[in-house]
């Protein structure tokens, strides 16, 4: 990690990340302490000399797994003295205002005194958008776990099971395969509930002829995957098939447009244009995709609301959908790595044919 480059680009003397009352994912980004430890109450201080970690004895063993200089405290007064010593005479200190609570900011200011505190949240997110090889390898594994579980879902379906039962089975299978957690609360929607894009899995029982929409992801050493597959339990109707293959065509178009230099807003517009050319005009009610990484919604992705010029190393989701209230819906989602000449689809679960389970 080129600490000097970060400080020069942010125009600060030091960057201070506090993993305090609000978890700050940037702590893991800068320290690369991805393989154990919670680090609640810990600091990452980025100076010209590199990254320094201030943590408690509780986290010492985990902290020493990394390549950072580690300072261990046993009391709050020790922690304050270490912080003052490491920050030193830095006048302009970069902070992540996006996760730092007002209470924690006041505490830091009480410790470090009257200096210039600069919000570097946007600059950090700019750095996080482009993943390096270590990050991408973790995301590939997270995608592999989710993809294999997605391919198994038809085998889990039993008439009369409830949505939350399938959600629990999906989580269990991901844990069995090595996920450290679910990436987010899984969405499992049967039948008409599939028309709600952000549905919370409930007590609805599975019936023959239902759509089964499953949107979930695996977290692997802090990095996430996000996949959606839609099935039909039993024999699909002509309407269900038409919706599915319209979404699939739109998704394939969206994926084909992902490349270095492409505009996310244009991809979103093209995907919606395809869907709006059918009888399902206006039934895609969200953007085509979002950024993915340490956070599930890591940054803006493919949206007409806020344009993003794609760069090599970014990972975005491509997830068009069609939603018919009272009837159901289809969403198909994959995680796509932007390459210089094209793209790499990280998720690999079957989708080219509507699966009737």
pLDDT tens by residue, 129-145: 999 999 999 999 999 99
Q: How far apart are CA 112 and CA 16, in angstroms?
A: 11
Find all residues with CB under 8 Å of 105, minimum gap 6, and list them: 95, 97, 117
Rounded mean pLDDT, 116-134: 97
Write down which residue in 128, 143, 160 finishes a domain: 128
| Mean pLDDT on 156-166 | 98
Tell whether 289 is covered by a domain: yes
Whether residues 123 and 137 fall in one domain: no
Q: 341 pLDDT band (50/70/90 cuts)? A: confident
**Measured between alpha carbons, how far is 108 from 103 in angstroms, rounded to an integer?**
9
Sequence-distant (6+) residues with CB within 8 A of 327 are 192, 195, 239
Same domain assignment for residues 139 and 41: no
356 part of a folded domain: no
Q: Does residue 259 sit in helix, strand or coil? A: coil
Is residue 156 located within the same domain as residue 273?
yes
In the Cβ-directed half-sphere of 309, how many Cα atoms lie within 13 Å? 2
pLDDT tens digits for range 107-117: 999 999 999 99
Q: Is 88 exposed, middle or buried (0-12, 13-18, 19+ CB in 10 A)?
A: exposed
pLDDT at 1 over 80: no
Query: Which of 78, 103, 128 lies at the terminal end of a domain, its last residue?
Result: 128
Asked whether residue 246 is assigned to any structural domain, the reply reads yes
Distance of alpha carbon 177 from alpha carbon 262, whole angstroms: 35
* pLDDT tens column, 87-99: 999 999 999 999 9
**Based on the domain organization, do 103 and 161 belong to the same domain?**
no
* pLDDT on residue 116: 98
CB atoms within 10 A of CB 353: 9
Closest CA to 347 of 187, 214, 210: 214
Please state the rounded mean pLDDT for residues 145-163.
98
CATH of the domain at 140: 3.90.230.10
The pLDDT tens digits for 195-242 are 999 999 999 999 999 999 999 999 999 999 999 999 999 999 999 999
Domain containing 28 equals 3-128
Assess whether pLDDT exceeds 90 at residue 2: no
| pLDDT > 90 in the chain, percent | 98
What are the tens digits of pLDDT across the range 64-90? 999 999 999 999 999 999 999 999 999
- Residue 185 phi/psi, 5-degree rounding, is -65, 115
Q: CB-based burial of residue 160 (10 Å sphere; 0-12 exposed, 13-18 middle, 19+ buried)?
A: exposed
The rounded distance, in Å, linking the Cα atoms of 199 and 193 is: 7
Domain shared by 238 and 333, yes or no? yes
Would the pLDDT of 34 be above 90?
Answer: yes
Residue 351 lies in a domain: no
What mean pLDDT, rounded, does the chain reach?
A: 97
**Do residues 304 and 207 share a domain?**
yes
pLDDT of residue 227: 98
Q: What is the pLDDT of residues 259-272, one digit of tens each?
A: 999 999 999 999 99
**Quick check: is 272 in a domain?**
yes
Q: Are residues 86 and 222 in the same domain?
A: no
Of the three residues 128, 149, 170, the one that is the final residue of a domain is 128
Looking at the fold, whether 250 and 315 belong to one and the same domain comes out as yes
Contact 335, 315 (CB under 8 A): yes
| Residue 210 backbone zone (phi > 0: left; psi -120 to 50: alpha; other: beta) | beta
Burial (CB count <10 Å: 0-12, 13-18, 19+), residue 195: buried
**Domain count of the chain?**
2
Residue 222 tokens read as 């802090």
24 contact partners, CB below 8 Å, separation of at least 6: 17, 18, 96, 99, 100
CATH number (domain holding residue 110):
3.40.350.10
Residue with tokens 């957690």: 181
Residues 165 and 203 in one domain: yes
> Is 354 contained in some domain?
no
- Could you tell me if 141 and 105 lie in one domain? no
Residues 6+ positions from 314 with CB-CB distance below 8 Å = 129, 130, 131, 291, 337, 338
Q: Same domain for 109 and 197?
A: no
21 and 163 share one domain? no
């Amino acid at each position: 990690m080129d600490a000097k480059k970060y400080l020069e680009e942010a125009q600060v003397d030091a960057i201070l990340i506090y993993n305090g009352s609000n978890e700050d994912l940037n702590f893991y980004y800068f320290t690369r302490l991805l393989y154990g430890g919670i680090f609640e109450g810990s600091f990452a201080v980025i100076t010209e000399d590199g990254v320094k970690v201030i943590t408690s004895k509780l986290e010492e063993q985990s902290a020493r797994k990394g390549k950072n200089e580690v300072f261990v405290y046993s009391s709050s007064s020790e922690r304050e003295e270490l912080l003052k010593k490491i920050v030193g005479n830095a006048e302009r200190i970069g902070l992540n205002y996006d996760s730092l609570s007002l209470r924690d900011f006041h505490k830091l200011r009480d410790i470090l005194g009257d200096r210039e505190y600069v919000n570097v949240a946007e600059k950090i997110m700019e750095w996080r958008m482009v993943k390096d090889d270590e990050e991408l390898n973790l995301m590939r594994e997270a995608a592999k776990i989710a993809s294999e579980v997605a391919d198994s879902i038809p085998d889990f379906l039993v008439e009369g099971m409830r949505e939350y039962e399938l959600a629990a089975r999906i989580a269990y299978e991901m844990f069995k395969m090595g996920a450290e957690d679910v990436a987010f609360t899984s969405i499992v929607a049967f039948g008409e509930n599939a028309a709600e894009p952000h549905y919370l899995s409930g007590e609805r029982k599975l019936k023959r002829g239902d759509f089964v929409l499953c949107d979930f992801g695996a977290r692997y050493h802090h990095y996430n995957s996000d996949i959606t597959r839609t099935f039909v339990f039993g024999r699909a109707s002509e309407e269900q098939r038409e919706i599915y293959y319209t979404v699939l065509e739109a998704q394939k178009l969206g994926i084909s447009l992902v490349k270095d230099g492409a505009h996310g807003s244009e991809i979103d517009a093209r995907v919606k244009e395809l869907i709006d050319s059918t009888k399902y005009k206006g039934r895609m009610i969200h953007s085509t995709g979002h950024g993915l990484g340490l956070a599930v919604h890591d940054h803006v992705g493919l949206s007409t609301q806020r344009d993003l010029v794609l760069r090599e190393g970014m990972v975005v989701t491509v997830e068009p959908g069609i939603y018919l209230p009272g009837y159901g819906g289809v969403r198909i989602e994959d995680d796509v790595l932007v390459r210089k000449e094209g793209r790499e689809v990280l998720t690999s679960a079957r989708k080219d044919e509507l699966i009737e389970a």
